[in-house]
Structure 1
Amino acid sequence: MQTSAKNLFTALRERRSIYGISNASPVSDQRIQDIIEETVKHTPSAFNNQTTRIVLLLGEQHNRLWDITTEVLQATVPAETFASTREKMNGFRNGYGTVLYFEDQYIIESYQNKFPTYREQFPIWSQHTNGMHQLVIWMALEAEGLGVNLQHYNPLIDERVRTAWDLPESWKLIAQMPFGKPTASAGEKQFSPLQERIKVFK
């Protein structure tokens, strides 16, 4: 896969939550798929158990996800406050695509049985690897000129998502990442003092 002109830390610094996104992309669908395939292949996982699963939704399939999410939320959010929720969902639907992140519980459980000493840790470690996948894909999409944000409407939409795309029962939904060509920039980011967050011993 070709590499982006941006280096690692430039992409990290410029990775932001962009909520103003449009139904356009500066790169091809194949390029987006290549990014996801490279990420899934090379991102580390505990014991190399490779628990993360990804679903890429483009076009009408992307729209379908946010239609489902809107329907589910309409049944749970009070009617008098739903207008703002619908507007938020429309903002995500206006994007070009969505990356869905899952963890395969079957693999996690198999490693719990195989290595009982670490039984309690495998679910935690699976969240670690999922987070790494999220960050790598986020940075890579940003480096290609896409606006990206991360959402968590699980577990409310889990069953509908699983049914809509006929996904395995063992795939647990972790996060949803809508993306598209940016239509607005992110606000200024605030940073806590690094001396309060890092300790160095020599």
Structure 2
Amino acid sequence: MLFKQLQQQRRSIYSLGKNIAQTPETISDIVTTAVKASPTAFNNQSVRVVVLTGNSHDKLWQIVIDSLKTQVSDQAAYTKSIEKIKNSFLSAYGTVLFYTDMSVVKSFEQNVPLYAENFYDWSEQGHAIAEYATWLALTENGMGASLQHYNPLIDDQVAAAFNIPNAWRLRAQMPFGEILAVPSNKDTIADDERFKYFN
């Protein structure tokens, strides 16, 4: 598949299932390769990743459900959120957790003071690249995914459940799995509102 086609095929897939051809070991290799090949500022490699499948995946989304129960006072809103989690994220095959190792960011802030105020922003850019590369790699292997942000609501509980180092800051969750339904065509704004070209 051409890269352009792969980019167009990648979408936010919310209708996910557990029936995929890949093993957990294959998934781990796909994610590891995508993240290791992604650039970071000063090659500081501040992105950290945790891949959850099986019971660990289920445990994560139960943490989200339990956390929302204490935070969402509107019963209708809570019910709607839980329904989405159970029918999409929990029903997926697995989840990739993306973290920033803040000890790396702070080390570069101290050791390269000229750019100190930029290193956190640059770590976020590194994250975006790693997340997109992972998403494309999953797409290339016939899987669907979406990107979620229940952090910081779940940070402490997830850290305790999966023995996450204190210096790691949770940035995103990517549930992935079998594609059960493809979304409708994606709307985009007019090119002349978005792009400028000069020669």
Name the TM-score, length of structure 2 as normaliser: 0.96
1:22 corresponding residue in structure 2 = 17
Query: Match for residue 48 of structure 1?
Result: 43
- In 1: Cα distance, 2:186 partner to 2:104 partner: 38
The equivalent of 2:26 in structure 1 is 31
Alpha-carbon RMSD across the aligned residues, in angstroms, is 1.0
The answer on whether the counterparts of 2:34 and 2:137 sit within 8 Å (CA) in structure 1 is no
What is the Cα deviation at residue 30 of structure 1? 2.2
AA aligned to 2:2 is N
Alpha-carbon distance between aligned partners in 2 of 1:174 and 1:133, rounded to the nearest angstrom = 12
Question: Of residues 123, 128, 140 in structure 2, which corresponds to 1:126?
Answer: 123
For the residues of structure 2 that align with 1:190 and 1:93, how far apart are their CA atoms?
27
Aligned counterpart, 1:159: 156
Alpha-carbon distance in structure 2 between the residues aligned to 1:136 and 1:40: 7
* 8 Å CA contact retained: 1:26, 1:146: no
After superposition, the C-alpha distances for 1:113-156 in whole angstroms (9 at most, x for unaligned) are 00111111000000000000100110110111111111000000
Unmatched segments (≥5 aa) in structure 2 = none
Q: Mean Cα displacement is larger for which, 76-85 or 61-70?
A: 76-85
Query: Quick one: which of 147, 152, 156 aligns to 1:150?
Result: 147
Give me the whole-angstrom Cα distance separating, in 1, the residues matched to 2:30 and 2:12.
19
Q: How many equivalent pairs are there? A: 197
Q: Show the 5 A alignment for 1:1-202.
A: 6-81=1-76, 82-90=78-86, 91-202=88-199
Describe the SS at the equivalent of 1:25: coil
Amino acid at match of 1:193: A
Partner SS state of residue 165, structure 2: coil
Q: Distance in 1 between matches of 2:196 and 2:170?
A: 35
Greater Cα offset, 191-200 or 46-55: 191-200
Q: Which runs of 5+ in 1 are unaligned?
A: 1-5
